[in-house]
Structure formats: structure tokens, C-alpha cells
Amino acid sequence: MTNTELILDFGRITFEENILIAELNEGILLDVEKNRKLLEIGRKTFNNGSYGYISNRVNSYGVNPMVYLESASTPTLKAIAVVTTNPVCRQNAILERQFYRDSNSFEVFNTLEEAINWMKYKI
């Protein structure tokens, strides 16, 4: 599944092979409820198969760290990547990584291309 787009009330989701790429709206809070929607989309889209999640942070928004505890318990979600060039957002993502079960499966990148290449390796 490539170049499919899904518009949600809190952002835009695209798919690249077995990767879910999210560009969430400016100013939202990614909370447990929104994260559950993303996990359900991943489960259905990839038919319970392995996939990765890339947060392409072109906008600034908040993240409840509890989303990573729930995401870590999703066996089909193999890795998470954050893409940002904003230094503050980068530091936040590094802190967020501490809440994810396997910090080796959570990375921060400057470009979407770097994140996709890493994700293909991880999955």
C-alpha cells in the first residue's frame, strides 16, 4: 500500500509499504484516545501484520507520554521514528523515547527519507 492518504480530525496519515506516516495538526495533544485510533488504523491497514510508525512533525503539538506505554504493548508495531528539524521538538522526542519499551526501536531523524530507510531495516 503506497501513497494512500487518510484525513483525520487531528491530522493526516499516509502509508508507504508497511509504514504508517502521521502528520498531526498544529497544537493538538496526542493523547491515549487519539493514539488508539492510530493503532487501530495500523492494525486494520496492515491486516495484523508488522508495521512501523513515523511521526513526521512538521507541526508543533503535545504528546502524552502514556501513548508510548500502550504502543509498546502492540506486538505488530515494530518501531517508531520521529522526524523533526526543530531543536526543541528533537529534545522532546528524545525524552519521549524513555517511555517506549525498546529504545532501540525508537529513533529521531532530520528527514523523512532517513526515517523511512531506517524503518525498512527495522521491520
Write out pLDDT tens, residues 82-120.
Answer: 999 999 999 988 888 888 877 679 999 999 999 999 999
CATH number at residue 89: 3.30.750.24
In which domain, by residue range, is 54 found?
A: 2-122
pLDDT of residue 3: 57
Q: pTM of the full predicted structure?
A: 0.92
Task: Tell me the pairing of strands 51-56 and 77-83.
Answer: parallel
Beta strands in the chain (DSSP E): 2-8, 11-16, 19-24, 29-30, 51-56, 62-63, 77-83, 106-109
When divided into structural domains, the chain yields a total of 1
